[in-house]
Amino acid sequence: MANETVQGLKVAILVTDGFEEVELTEPRKALDQAGADTRVVSPKGDEVRGWNFTDWGQTLPVDLKLEEARSEDFDALLLPGGVINPDKLRIIPAAVAFVKAFFDAAKPVAAICHGPWTIIEADKARGRRMTSWPSVRADLRNAGADVVDQEAVVDGNLVTSRMPDDIPAFNREMIKLFAGARRQRQAA
């Protein structure tokens, strides 16, 4: 990852309560260390609470309320998993629209674990090669995705990953994908 830079790239991290803590904190740390400007976007107010594998985890500040966020103001999107977080997000029309807007604008998206649920709800899984937490794979198949069991899968402007154990591979592929988007933005 040392050769890849996302310097100045603005990355939205869409979450609500119940995100799997390491699936936000570790990718965010990797992005921040590579020079990205990361922002937690949430339908919640001032803070969101993570899930730390088996119980509630830390609380993080919300940088931008979803109702005030515009996908045009960001270059890329990170969708952490956790069972609770994406299950809540996928029934919030504004959250689904936010995710859809990144795909419609061909901006890069990174989703881990249960994070692809919002991609399914945004109707952007069809025809994509993807992976996820095992219990989400049938949903992906039913949504028309080509599902594989690999630690990190890149398909065009999308990278997906299975679980917290895969975070090193997920971070590596996410940084590569987002850096490519940065190079394209600079060339335009």
Query: 183 pLDDT exceeds 80?
Result: no
Count of CB atoms situated within 10 Å of the CB of 39: 18
Is pLDDT at 186 greater than 80 in this prediction? no
pLDDT in tens, 141-179: 999 999 999 999 999 999 999 999 999 999 999 999 999
Taking residue 82's Cβ as centre, other Cβ atoms within 10 Å add up to 29
Are 44 and 113 spatial neighbours (Cβ–Cβ below 8 Å)? no
Catalytic positions, written as ranges: 113-114
pLDDT at 5: 81
* Domain range annotation of the chain: 10-182
Angle, alpha carbons 112-60-111 (nearest 5°): 10
pLDDT for 73-91, tens place per residue? 999 999 999 999 999 999 9
Under DSSP, the state recorded for 4 is -
Given a cut of 90, whether residue 64 has pLDDT beyond it is yes
Which pLDDT tens digit goes with each residue over 25-53? 999 999 999 999 999 999 998 999 999 99
Amino acid at position 66, single letter = L
Give 183 or 37, the one with higher predicted confidence.
37
Helical ranges in 65-162 per DSSP H: 84-89, 93-104, 116-121, 137-142
Q: Quick one: 178 exposed, middle or buried, by C-beta within 10 A (0-12, 13-18, 19+)?
A: buried
pLDDT computed for residue 1 by the predictor: 47
2-26: per-residue pLDDT in tens?
457 899 999 999 999 999 999 999 9
CATH number for the region 10-182 comes to 3.40.50.880
**Whether the predicted pLDDT of 69 surpasses 90:** yes
CA 62 to chain CA mean position, Å: 16
